[in-house]
Structure 1
Amino acid sequence: MPERDDTLDGPLLPMEMEGESTEKRRPWYKSKIVLSVLGAAIFFLLVILVVLWAAKSRKTGDEPGSEDGDLDRPPRYHNLFETQKKLPQHDLNLPFPEGATGRYVKFTAQSGQRLLGWNNVFTELLLHNYLAYKSRRGYVFGDYFWAPEHYPWPEDKALEKPARTPISALISGPTAGGPWPPGDPAPRSIHEDHWPLVCPPEKVKKIWTTKVKEEYKMRDNGTGKYIFNVWKKILLDDPAQCIEVTQPTIEEDPWPEVFDLFLLGGPRILDFLDEFRESLVSQGLKASPVVERSIQRNTHLFQTPETVHHNPFSRVLAVHIRRGDYVGHCKNLAAWHAGFYGWNQLPWLPDRYAPPTPEPGNYTEEYLSHCLPEMDHIIKRIEDARDDWEKETFAGQKLESHYIHTIYILTNALPEWHDEFAEKLKHDHKWNVVTSHDIVFGDAQEKDVGMAIDMELARRAGIFLGNGWSSFTSNIVHQRLIDKKTALSNRFF
């Protein structure tokens, strides 16, 4: 065995010499300066990681209330469906006019049964809710069901067929189960899944729209106010606790809705619109939390140095340019001699258009100049609308530059047309251009309600220019009038 080497006894590191500072001999990696720098570097690294995580959350949907982060897959809406199920008015023990003893009305007769687009369905939902309110019954709302050609994902990716979206993802307010103003005794809306619990089949009385329309001669003659008041009286006077307004097959009656296309698409509706605009249904209509979340994320797209401390949307002109299906549809509208739709018909709004008497040669061309205008004509209308609004708003003042300087383009045009149009506005006419293609969705829920996001952005814009035959334009005009936007801020081609 080797002998122990006594020279190794004692400390292996140098011993402190008398009078020598420990700070002087401290290793470099233990100095105060190095430790401070290292601490700061770690702090900033953590900050960067938090920022990157937040950015990833915005892209993948890791936000409060959102579990649908994958944009390539339709949303499941577990959170919204659960909230909808637990609405406080779904308590059977509530006193009259809610709960098990309340009075309710469900409208099975509506365009949503035929999977029409959201804007046709949306108009009806609001009108049905107001009719239920005036007849002192709880309104029964359902989910929105998509036609496959409108759905934001391929049909084979849909979680169910037809795909559906909860109304509370699209809007908020009484129509989506929200409360009435404090002190209002009206019953709140219930979801259709609660309907069988509060209104089992033996309690339900069915009223057929076809019979009512025929009895009261509503199809071609009744005004909006007349039709609304007839239905209100029927629903008020009937002692049945639960009423389902239903319809025959489409083959028996192609337009069985309470408020059908021929009413909404013609001047007969006009005498009712002022009342409806001031109703609590209209006044309570707001963006859904999903839509609001997306608006907040994308507000920076509309901000400029002039709007850092102000509402950026006040300096935006939103333009709705309908292409795509309208290439053929406008020719059909011309053949039908159709006028503007819904709210677009109000006589005190600018840009009134009366379809010309059909004449050989130029009738269709005249129609298309308003329904499907060419690019240069659209740009002229945009600039004229801005000039008119600025002259009225800043009367007597001299502007050094345009107050409205950002344009938001809502269109279903082909990419080539869209890109050329945006480039012309940006380079030839010096607009700050934002389009619906620039909107960043934080999750699949936001992607699912893209049309509602577009509508809300147009609602908030300083000026809106739209297509008078479009129900989408009509719904935007309705909401802008709720917000007391001036007549001259709502324009048409």
Structure 2
Amino acid sequence: MLHFKPRIFYRATVCACLALFFLWRWVILHPVQDPLGHPTFSDIREYERGLPQHSRQAVFTKPRRRYLYLPGEASGSGWNNAFQAALLNTHLAYLTNRGYVFRDFVASAHPPFPDTLPNGDRRPLSIPMNAFTSGPTGGGQLGDDLDEQLTPRAISKEWWNKVCPANEVVEINLDETLKELNITDDTSGLDRLTRWVDKFGKMEAPCVTIPNGEPFDWMFMGNPKILELWPSYGISPVLTQFKWSPLIARALSRNYHLLTLDPHPLPPALISSYTPPRKEIPDLGSTSAPYPISSFSPYPAASSPITGLLALHVRRGDYAEHCRNLASWGSGYNAWNTFGSPDVRAAHPTLPALPDYLDVPDGMSHEDAAYAHCWPTAESIVQRARVVRKDSVSSGTQLRAVYIATNGEPHWVADLVRQFKADGWELVSTSLDMKLTRDEMAVAQAVDMSVLVAAETFIGVGFSSLSSNVVQIRLAGGRKPETTHFW
């Protein structure tokens, strides 16, 4: 029989506990670095885990909260296609009194950083939803007047794994359910939404998933039938309560001087609550020593517009080939960008009436016209902005500053800036002027989008899902339809 001395055992236990404590502290202060130098988003993941719906109390409330998880949502797509799907599926979950389950976005289609290891293995960057948005799709509030017990907030995939064990998850086969609901390519957008809402609403199972697809696929996203969803979707808290993440609010706060000529430009929604101690270095708002994101609140897309700012989306890079393909295929504008189409306005007179659409001038082929709208030259960009500036005067708007959201080559962008300044614009800045930290660079597209949404007036690319997302958030946030244009 073994014997031990209580005092020795006690000391050993204390030493072991202290060792574990110091090891834990070291891990917290020295997080494991990604071998590719990717940001780890540890502060944002902590933010997500701290959401009130991610608590044990939320698990045991009665009646039990219900959720909808779509693991195949926009699989392999770029950010804006995935974002389109996430927003619309959050609305679907909301209409069925279920919480949407959000996941990390895996940046495989358009990686923001190199993602291949020396041995050739690919490791795409995984970005948490709350690096982009902390609105309802990222688990934010659906509204002060909503009972979160009946209409729960969105939850993370991590929390889904805790509250929805495999033996309680009910899987829906997409193909079988489409047949059951009699949904075909000819089904109207409104009927499609109504039938899915009825299906999910009647299911008593708290944890429902579609492992092999989603109710609204990429073909539906590009179909004019999607516009039939706007009467309910456009007033949904998914859009009206939309907020950019604290990470994006921090990036905007640091770069706001690029967007306005106002001598006191920073709006209250972007002011950090962080007060640096006296001994700390004075540039804590810089990229080398940024303010903690915990000192920023999510930034509402419905905030007042940036007075005098014209924001432009000028897509370059892979669009050189993509625009030629779209033009040759006879493609139309993307989703919400089609609100200006004469056919749409005639068929749906109550929908927002955007002033621009894909027009084909006399003597020009559809292919050439589409390409000109998709890939405008520098000269036509400046000319279009000049016309919008002149026309806006009649509505009492004085556009003085330009922000160009672009992925164009630096030399091309520099020439475009020169042309704008020569045309009399008082302040001209671009995506290339933004001072961003490494984690902010990972979501630079969304930083640009936040500017495009906040601008007093916007000109976008009608074929682009990025511009389409900007359009829907602008409209739901209260921007007038006549302030949104296309090339």
Q: Same fold (TM over 0.5)?
A: yes
**Is 1:259 aligned to residue 216 of structure 2?**
yes
- From the superposition, tell whether residues 351 and 168 of structure 1 become closer, same or farther in structure 2 (CA, over 3 Å): same
2:339 maps to 346
Equivalent residue for 2:50, pick from 56, 69, 86? 86
Matches within 5 A, 1:323-338: 323-338=316-331
Q: Residues 206 and 245 of structure 1 are in contact (CA less than 8 Å); yes or no, is this contact kept in structure 2?
A: yes
**Is 1:365 aligned to residue 368 of structure 2?**
yes
Equivalent residue for 1:204, pick from 169, 172, 177? 169
Q: Say which SS state the counterpart of residue 161 (structure 1) adopts.
A: coil
Q: Which amino acid counterpart does residue 310 of structure 2 have in structure 1?
A: L
2:381 maps to 378
In 2, the alpha carbon distance for the partners of 1:105 and 1:356 equals: 46
- From the superposition, tell whether residues 199 and 83 of structure 1 become closer, same or farther in structure 2 (CA, over 3 Å): same
Structure with the greater alpha carbon radius of gyration: 1
Q: Displacement, 1:67?
A: 9.0
Q: Which amino acid counterpart does residue 219 of structure 2 have in structure 1?
A: F
1:283 maps to 240
**Is 1:74 aligned to residue 77 of structure 2?**
no
Matches within 5 A, 1:154-303: 154-156=115-117, 161-185=123-147, 186-247=151-212, 256-303=213-260
In 1, the alpha carbon distance for the partners of 2:30 and 2:155 equals: 24
Q: Which amino acid counterpart does residue 136 of structure 2 have in structure 1?
A: P
Q: Residues 109 and 258 of structure 1 are in contact (CA less than 8 Å); yes or no, is this contact kept in structure 2?
A: no
1:417 maps to 412
In 2, the alpha carbon distance for the partners of 1:66 and 1:283 equals: 39
1:39 maps to none
Q: Which runs of 5+ in 1 are unaligned?
A: 1-64, 248-255, 395-402
1:105 maps to 68
CA RMSD of aligned residues (A): 3.0
Residues 30-81 of structure 1, C-alpha deviations (whole Å, 9 max, x = no match): xxxxxxxxxxxxxxxxxxxxxxxxxxxxxxxxxxx999999x9321111221
Q: Which amino acid counterpart does residue 374 of structure 1 have in structure 2?
A: T
- From the superposition, tell whether residues 220 and 428 of structure 1 become closer, same or farther in structure 2 (CA, over 3 Å): same
Q: Displacement, 1:309?
A: 8.8
Q: Which amino acid counterpart does residue 331 of structure 1 have in structure 2?
A: R
Q: Displacement, 1:313?
A: 2.3
Q: Say which SS state the counterpart of residue 40 (structure 2) adopts.
A: coil
Q: Residues 126 and 175 of structure 1 are in contact (CA less than 8 Å); yes or no, is this contact kept in structure 2?
A: yes
Q: Residues 402 and 425 of structure 2 are in contact (CA less than 8 Å); yes or no, is this contact kept in structure 1?
A: no
In 2, the alpha carbon distance for the partners of 1:96 and 1:236 equals: 21
Q: Which amino acid counterpart does residue 317 of structure 2 have in structure 1?
A: G
Q: Which amino acid counterpart does residue 388 of structure 1 have in structure 2?
A: D
Q: Say which SS state the counterpart of residue 101 (structure 2) adopts.
A: strand
Q: Residues 66 and 79 of structure 1 are in contact (CA less than 8 Å); yes or no, is this contact kept in structure 2?
A: no
Q: Displacement, 1:233?
A: 0.8
1:60 maps to none
In 2, the alpha carbon distance for the partners of 1:449 and 1:68 equals: 21
1:408 maps to 403
Q: Which runs of 5+ in 2 are unaligned?
A: 1-28, 268-303, 341-352
Q: Say which SS state the counterpart of residue 216 (structure 2) adopts.
A: coil
- From the superposition, tell whether residues 159 and 450 of structure 1 become closer, same or farther in structure 2 (CA, over 3 Å): farther
2:459 maps to 465
1:21 maps to none
Q: Displacement, 1:86?
A: 3.3
In 1, the alpha carbon distance for the partners of 2:486 and 2:240 equals: 24
Q: Residues 115 and 123 of structure 2 are in contact (CA less than 8 Å); yes or no, is this contact kept in structure 1?
A: no
Q: Residues 142 and 191 of structure 1 are in contact (CA less than 8 Å); yes or no, is this contact kept in structure 2?
A: yes
Q: Which amino acid counterpart does residue 103 of structure 1 have in structure 2?
A: R
Q: Displacement, 1:414?
A: 2.1
Q: Residues 38 and 125 of structure 2 are in contact (CA less than 8 Å); yes or no, is this contact kept in structure 1?
A: no
Q: Which amino acid counterpart does residue 435 of structure 1 have in structure 2?
A: T
Q: Say which SS state the counterpart of residue 462 (structure 1) adopts.
A: strand
Q: Which amino acid counterpart does residue 104 of structure 1 have in structure 2?
A: Y
**Is 1:132 aligned to residue 135 of structure 2?**
no
Residues 391-446 of structure 1, C-alpha deviations (whole Å, 9 max, x = no match): 1236xxxxxxxx211110111222232121111111344442100100111x2221
Q: Say which SS state the counterpart of residue 167 (structure 2) adopts.
A: helix
Q: Displacement, 1:210?
A: 2.5
Q: Residues 477 and 490 of structure 1 are in contact (CA less than 8 Å); yes or no, is this contact kept in structure 2?
A: yes
Q: Which amino acid counterpart does residue 357 of structure 2 have in structure 1?
A: R
Q: Say which SS state the counterpart of residue 171 (structure 1) adopts.
A: coil
Q: Residues 69 and 444 of structure 1 are in contact (CA less than 8 Å); yes or no, is this contact kept in structure 2?
A: no
Q: Which amino acid counterpart does residue 112 of structure 2 have in structure 1?
A: Y
1:57 maps to none
2:439 maps to 445
Residues 108-142 of structure 1, C-alpha deviations (whole Å, 9 max, x = no match): 2311x22x111111111111111111111122111
Q: Residues 467 and 473 of structure 1 are in contact (CA less than 8 Å); yes or no, is this contact kept in structure 2?
A: yes
Q: Which amino acid counterpart does residue 434 of structure 2 have in structure 1?
A: I
Q: Say which SS state the counterpart of residue 58 (structure 2) adopts.
A: coil
Q: Residues 73 and 153 of structure 1 are in contact (CA less than 8 Å); yes or no, is this contact kept in structure 2?
A: no
In 2, the alpha carbon distance for the partners of 1:309 and 1:87 equals: 27
Q: Residues 105 and 140 of structure 1 are in contact (CA less than 8 Å); yes or no, is this contact kept in structure 2?
A: yes
2:10 maps to none
Q: Residues 110 and 258 of structure 1 are in contact (CA less than 8 Å); yes or no, is this contact kept in structure 2?
A: no
- From the superposition, tell whether residues 205 and 476 of structure 1 become closer, same or farther in structure 2 (CA, over 3 Å): same
Q: Displacement, 1:176?
A: 0.8
In 2, the alpha carbon distance for the partners of 1:156 and 1:232 equals: 44
Q: Which amino acid counterpart does residue 50 of structure 2 have in structure 1?
A: K
Q: Residues 378 and 416 of structure 2 are in contact (CA less than 8 Å); yes or no, is this contact kept in structure 1?
A: yes
Q: Say which SS state the counterpart of residue 435 (structure 2) adopts.
A: coil
In 1, the alpha carbon distance for the partners of 2:247 and 2:62 equals: 28
Q: Displacement, 1:266?
A: 2.0
- What is the TM-score of this pair, normalised by structure 2? 0.77
Equivalent residue for 1:391, pick from 390, 394, 397? 394
